[in-house]
Structure 1
Amino acid sequence: MTDPRAGRRCHTPLNALHSTVYFSPEFDAEMETLGLAGAPGAYFSAGGYFAARSAAMGAVGPGAVTATFFNFSHTLIAQHLPGAWTVATPGQLLAARLRVVDRLLRRLLGDEALASKEMAEAAELALRAAGGCHRAGRPLSAAEADQPVAQEPHVAFWQAATVLREHRGDGHIALLTHAGLDGLEALVSHTSSGRGFTPAFARSTRGWSEEEWSAAEERLRGKGLLDADGELTEAGTTLRVDLEHETDRLAAAPYDHLGAAGVERLTELAGGFAAMALGNGAYPNGIFGRK
């Protein structure tokens, strides 16, 4: 078996490349064309995001999306689903998403990188790893794994990265539930660690009110996981660290399938592409960190 931490190191750039799609102007343009434009000034189209990310599962209702996305408000999701399916079909959204991937990666990485032997190698390695993902108990990952693979290496690379990203996420949600954290408590504790999105960005884009956020903080204090200043306690920090280690263990199958040498090479290639994408403005400014 590979070192589980090696899987996490590989996942980090793969996830960065996967997620940038939903923050891109290319995504907003496609959603507007389909009739799912976001609100003026929003970071992304919420309705388009819920529909496009869940489309591989079919025209599912808000309950299924709340369950699988986990840290979004059900109230927010229900504002957009199932209504989005009367505007665009899952097939239309899946096709639109791949068009976004093609145009976005061309903008962020350039045609030369997309046509390179390194991109072809990254796609081959990522697809091989994705072939080792378990389907049972992994609804988002399994649905993505059922999608036909694109012929273009850069699009296929993104598809494989998506399967791997959702595979880890599905396992992580199971562990959060086992730890007794609901979706909002998990989100608050994660932002309190200083990792991921800022609290303000996470709260607003996931549809939680300030009152709901404060109530979750109080619940975490009652569990001994958060202090009076909104920082993780020692127990809270230990829990978050343990959750990541256990997530590594549950996410190990595809990386074991690929093998240590393959994981190291995929990490190198994905890291290079992710660094290039981030350097070319893959994400809006000011959405990560403590404030």
Structure 2
Amino acid sequence: MTTAAIEPRAGRRCHNVLNSLHATSYFAPELGQEMAAIGITDPRAVNFAVRSAALGAVGAGTVTATFYNYKHELVARHVPAVWTAASPEAVLAARLRAVDGSLCRLLGEETVTSPGIAEAARLALRAAEACSRSARPLYSAHADLPVPAEPHLAYFHATTLLREHRGDGHLAALVAAGLDGLEALVTHTATGKGMNPKWVFSTRGWTQEEWDAAVARLRDRGLLDGAGELTEEGTDLRRAIETETDRLDRAPYEHLGAEGVARLTELGTGFARTALMAGAFPRDLLGKG
């Protein structure tokens, strides 16, 4: 059942807290341990494998296109070679085992088995009912996966669906704004909410020289000033990108309705805060460096 439209940014706020918990999986030691057990040890190969496994044994071109802000040469160093170490099915199973372990560690057994996380899973899955497959490859691939029976894993699955749905739409907004993958990273970091450049270099494959060249291109467009800060035009562009992303991602949250979105945001905020306090993320992950 579709409900009335909700406050414009309510969906974004809900997504942000859901994504915060989802993102802990990429930094969890359990992920590296489970992936090493099936033969994948390089952290960058792990990242490419776990996020793209739902697509099947795809090549580097598909991963570069759907991930958007990774240097293609880095992707090609690991994909499709990673599938010779482990099949996509084995990777997905390892990922789920890792999520089980990391959520139990970060949230605690009492929370993982609580009525609250079961309620959050039901609400998030209900929101995901209204996600669209059209032009959303990562969402659509994950939507083909079965929903885990355990509530905390069902919640993670639902956050993955909602994350990838918004992410696929966000890429469309970035393309329309004329930002390539590295320029998108540079402008996001300039907002103060994106990754520290050192993490961009180590995880995305870009170099300082390539970063500096992107900064120069953005200056020429009037989006960054001489100090590398967003100009008024740059701030307006980033705001417009997020607004367009909101528009493309509004269906799940309108389907859930204002009351459901508020409750899911409340529950998700609690889970994300607990994980953050448990040290789920590196302290220097975000910021301008």
Normalising by structure 1, report the TM-score: 0.96
Q: How high is the sequence identity, in percent, across the aligned residues?
A: 59
> Which string of whole-angstrom CA distances, capped at 9 and with x for unpartnered residues, describes residues 8-48 of structure 1?
1101111111111011100111121121112xxxxxx1101
Secondary structure, counterpart of 2:211 in structure 1: helix
Are the counterparts in 1 of residues 223 and 233 from structure 2 also a CA contact under 8 Å? Answer: yes
C-alpha RMSD of the superposition: 0.8
The 5-angstrom pairing of residues 213-228 of structure 1 reads 213-228=211-226
Question: Which residue of the partner structure matches residue 42 of structure 1?
Answer: none
TM superposition shift of 1:251:
0.6
Is 1:21–2:25 an aligned residue pair?
yes
> Which string of whole-angstrom CA distances, capped at 9 and with x for unpartnered residues, describes residues 174-228 of structure 1?
0100111110111111111111211221232110011111111111111110111
TM superposition shift of 1:246:
1.1
Q: Which runs of 5+ in 1 are unaligned?
A: 39-44
Q: Which runs of 4+ in 1 moved over 6 A?
A: none
Q: Distance in 2 between matches of 1:3 and 1:169?
A: 20
Question: Which residue of the partner structure matches residue 31 of structure 1?
Answer: 35
Question: Which residue of the partner structure matches residue 125 of structure 1?
Answer: 123
| AA in 1 matched with 2:272 | A
Question: Which residue of the partner structure matches residue 157 of structure 1?
Answer: 155
Are the counterparts in 1 of residues 106 and 278 from structure 2 also a CA contact under 8 Å? Answer: yes
Is 1:76–2:74 an aligned residue pair?
yes
Are the counterparts in 1 of residues 130 and 252 from structure 2 also a CA contact under 8 Å? Answer: yes
Is 1:253–2:251 an aligned residue pair?
yes
Question: Which residue of the partner structure matches residue 243 of structure 1?
Answer: 241
The 5-angstrom pairing of residues 1-291 of structure 1 reads 1-38=5-42, 45-291=43-289
Q: Distance in 1 between matches of 2:186 and 2:175?
A: 14
Q: Distance in 2 between matches of 1:105 and 1:36?
A: 22
TM superposition shift of 1:256:
0.8
Q: Distance in 2 between matches of 1:13 and 1:95?
A: 25
TM superposition shift of 1:3:
1.8
Are the counterparts in 1 of residues 70 and 181 from structure 2 also a CA contact under 8 Å? Answer: yes
Q: Which runs of 5+ in 2 are unaligned?
A: none
Q: Distance in 1 between matches of 2:35 and 2:150?
A: 22
> Which string of whole-angstrom CA distances, capped at 9 and with x for unpartnered residues, describes residues 26-82 of structure 1?
0111121121112xxxxxx11011011000010111111111100011010000000
Secondary structure, counterpart of 2:15 in structure 1: helix
Q: Distance in 1 between matches of 2:288 and 2:214?
A: 17
Secondary structure, counterpart of 1:259 in structure 2: helix
Are the counterparts in 1 of residues 74 and 205 from structure 2 also a CA contact under 8 Å? Answer: yes
TM superposition shift of 1:284:
1.4
Q: Distance in 1 between matches of 2:198 and 2:221?
A: 23
| AA in 1 matched with 2:206 | W
Q: Distance in 1 between matches of 2:188 and 2:200?
A: 10
| AA in 2 matched with 1:28 | G
Q: Distance in 2 between matches of 1:68 and 1:178?
A: 15
Q: Distance in 2 between matches of 1:290 and 1:213?
A: 13
Secondary structure, counterpart of 1:212 in structure 2: helix
| AA in 2 matched with 1:13 | V
Normalising by structure 2, report the TM-score: 0.97
| AA in 2 matched with 1:189 | T
Secondary structure, counterpart of 1:281 in structure 2: coil
| AA in 1 matched with 2:210 | E
| AA in 1 matched with 2:40 | L
| AA in 1 matched with 2:10 | A
Question: Which residue of the partner structure matches residue 41 of structure 1?
Answer: none
